[in-house]
Each structure stands twice: as C-alpha cells, then as structure tokens.
Amino acid sequence: MTLTSPVKGRDTLLLAKDLLQIMRKKQERWIRPLEKTEEEVLVKEFGQVDWDIPGHRQILDISQARDIIEWSQGLGLIDLKKRNMWTSLGAVLSKIIEQRQKDAFLCVTDLPNPLRLTLKQKIFFIYLLLLKDGDFILRFLRKLPRETFSANDACQCYYDAWNELAGFLSASKEYKHISKSRELSRLITDLKGSSAYLRVISKLENLTDLGILTRVDERKYQYNPHLDKLKTLDEISSNVLSEKPESTEDRWKSFFDSDFFSFTAKIFEISKLEKASKSLMTGHILNSYKKLVGGLGLCRIDEVSLLAGIEGLMDDPPLIIEQRNVRDSVFDMSKQYGKLVSLHVDMLGNISYMKIDRSLLTQTR
C-alpha cells in the first residue's frame, strides 16, 4: 500500500519493480535464509536482524514481485482498472499500517520487521480472506489434519476442497453458480503437481501469518494446527455453509453483518468484551469516517464499519462493534442530525455511502 495511493495510479510492472528493489535492499534482515550456514554470515554483516516471522520467503525476481501485486489485486486492495489505485478496502488497510512499518519498508529504518502483522492487521486479513475466498478457505480448513502435517499432506485437502466447492455450485439452479462451477472444474483439471504444491504453500503461509497454523521448522513446510482457532472456524463453517449456494450467500451476509467481530475475538483470544455504548459507538464511527473520507466527502458504510470494528477490539476494555451496529447508528445519526449526516445509494439503489458534515467531526473521543 505504501507504493501506490488513492489518487494516483501506477502500472503493475512499475509497482513490481519498486517492490523488488525495496525487498532486495532489506529482506535479508527480515527473512531467514534457506541455508542455515548463511545465518552467521548475515548476522556479522548486518549486526541486527529480525527473522522471527513465519510464512515468508525472499523475493528473488520480478515474477515473484508481480505475483504479490496481482495477489493484492485479487484480494481487492488495489484496482487494476484504475492503474492500481487503492480500493475502499485498501484505504482501510492503509489506516492500520503503523508508521514504524512504513519507515522500515521504505528504508528509512532497518527494523522492526514490517512483514510481521499486528493484531489489527490480522483481523483485517482474516476478514479479507473470508470475504474473498471464504467458501474455499472454510472447506480447506475443515479437511486439514488436526495434528502435525506437511504441505504435501495438505495437497489432497486442497484438491478435495475445490472439488467439493465445484460440486456444491453445480447443484444450483442459478447460471452464475453453474458457470463458476464449470470454471473451477477446468482449473482443477489443469492443476499440475508443482503448481498445486506452490498454491497450497501460499494458502498455508497465509494461515501461518494469521497464527492459525505454526511452522514446526522455519525451513520445512510442516505445520502444527492451533486447535482452538480451528474449532472457532469450524463454528463459522457450521453457521455459514449450507446445502444451497443461494442460502450460503445469505448466511455470509448475515455473518459479516452481525457475527464477524464476535468470532474474530475468539480466534485471537480477545476477552472481557463489552458492548459499545451509544457515545462510544458514535465516537468510533466519527473517528473511522474522518480517517477514511476522501475529497468528495463520501465513505462506504461497510468500510467505516470494518475500521470501527477493528479499532473497537483494541479498546480497553475491548468493544464489539458489528457492521449492523454501525449501520443502525448511522441511520439514527441521520435522523438526529438531518442534512449533517446524509446517506447515499450505490448503482443498485442500496444505501451504501455516508457523508458527515465537518462540524460533527470534532465530536470525537
């Protein structure tokens, strides 16, 4: 996110080149070398290193850097059609990147390691993975062994999860689901051993970054599952995945609307939760809006809700602020303040945006 912006786009190849250049300068301080014999040499050369992160390998060529840019596009963080400018989700991520992480990544400082996710970032990324890839991820997690396993062991789980999802979608009567099922079936058929293995590793490393899995050895792709976290994710599966794609879509909407932050608090062991009072809720909404608002003054309610929910869990005591709570509060604010809090529709006619007058933005905690 530090290499692009919400107002000025950049070509994918240029972004990849800049990312590769930055990583080449610093990654040996941040990512443990593949060969143990290299460790002592690098420690002597750099003095300080910070290798205590799982789930990362050094970027060695432009194709790897480009893969990361395209992964960000696929997650909806940057918009390829707008020359990789931030999306509204990308804007949320930009607000939870700490300044010390930016300084290290942009080579102002050497440490701390900017690749280590903060709790805020873990919450954001689990939201993103479930939002963009939840139907697969939950099936994949249900099939992973509940004891130490290797990436090779997980390959069959990967195939089985995709096949299950393709079969599930094919049973639908809606064309979009049938079409997606056929597309998945072709992709599964085209997958070869090596490419499937690399994709499995990518999925496992994402889960390792989130603390759902732990590497047994940083140089070997062997993993220990965190059973309590998987149990909570299994609960999400039971609540969301149904026998029909149409029902599952509705259940996902309900999950993100009412339950996401409650389940996330369990995954990341955030305890002593409290419900936000009206004043605290209003304060978080105003703060989140102020951080995200652009030149036109409009913000998507979903993204204001996401940032408010993340920040709420960081409070002392932690607050549960679900999307539904924010939306209800925004509607109440619109009734209370009239034109000072205006609501706006998207292209489908759904109320999706809000605009708050500057005079109200001083009423933050």
List the structure tokens of 209. 């970054």
Q: Is the domain of 176 the same as that of 283?
A: no
Residue 21 lies in a domain: yes
Q: Is the domain of 232 the same as that of 281?
A: no
Residue 242 lies in a domain: yes
Q: Is the domain of 109 the same as that of 141?
A: no
Tell me how far apart the alpha carbons of residues 320 and 311 are, in angstroms, rounded to a whole number: 10
Here the contacts of 89-93 (C-beta below 8 Å, separation 24 or greater) are 89/128, 89/303, 89/306, 90/1, 90/6, 91/6, 91/292, 91/303, 92/124, 92/292, 92/303, 92/306, 92/307, 92/310, 93/1, 93/121, 93/124
Q: Is the domain of 126 the same as that of 251?
A: yes
- Binned at pLDDT 50, 70 and 90, residue 364 comes out as low
Domain boundary among 266, 299, 329: 266
Instruction: Quickly list H helices, the chain.
Output: 12-30, 37-46, 62-74, 88-95, 99-105, 119-143, 151-170, 175-190, 193-209, 227-240, 245-258, 260-267, 278-292, 301-313, 323-337
Cβ-contact 46, 28 below 8 angstroms:
yes
Residue 365 lies in a domain: no
Q: Is the domain of 254 the same as that of 132?
A: yes
Total structural domains within the chain: 3
Q: Which domain holds residue 299?
A: 272-360
Q: Is the domain of 112 the same as that of 138?
A: no
Average pLDDT over residues 47-76: 87
Closest CA to 302 of 336, 267, 253: 253
Residue 174 lies in a domain: yes
Q: Is the domain of 152 the same as that of 227?
A: yes
Tell me how far apart the alpha carbons of residues 70 and 77 are, in angstroms, rounded to a whole number: 10
List the structure tokens of 103. 């300084």
Could you read off the pLDDT of 169-189 as tens digits, one per residue?
998 889 999 999 999 999 888
Residue 214 lies in a domain: yes
Q: Is the domain of 64 the same as that of 147?
A: no
Could you read off the pLDDT of 239-293 as tens digits, one per residue?
999 888 889 999 999 999 999 999 999 999 999 999 999 999 999 999 999 999 9
31-35, 108-112, 154-158, 265-269: which range is least confident on average? 108-112
- Binned at pLDDT 50, 70 and 90, residue 50 comes out as confident
Residue 4 lies in a domain: no
List the structure tokens of 104. 């290290």
State the pLDDT at residue 85.
95
Cβ-contact 321, 123 below 8 angstroms:
no
103-117, 197-211, 226-240: which range is least confident on average? 103-117
pLDDT at 238 exceeding the cut of 80: yes
Q: Is the domain of 325 the same as that of 242?
A: no
Q: Is the domain of 127 the same as that of 241?
A: yes
Domain boundary among 90, 116, 142: 116
State the pLDDT at residue 52.
75
Q: Is the domain of 80 the same as that of 178?
A: no
Residue 58 lies in a domain: yes
List the structure tokens of 269. 């062991």
33-37, 59-63, 321-325, 345-349: which range is least confident on average? 33-37
β-pair type (319-320, 274-275): parallel
Q: Is the domain of 125 the same as that of 262?
A: yes
Cβ-contact 127, 141 below 8 angstroms:
no
CB atoms within 10 A of CB 143: 15
Residue 2 lies in a domain: no
Domain boundary among 50, 81, 116: 116
Q: What CATH number should be reported for the domain holding residue 296?
A: 1.10.10
Q: What are phi and psi of 343, to 5 degrees?
A: -110, 145
pLDDT at 51 exceeding the cut of 80: yes
Kindly give the interhelix angle for 88-95 and 301-313, rounded to the nearest 10 degrees.
20
Q: ∠33-110-77 over CA atoms, to 5°?
A: 85
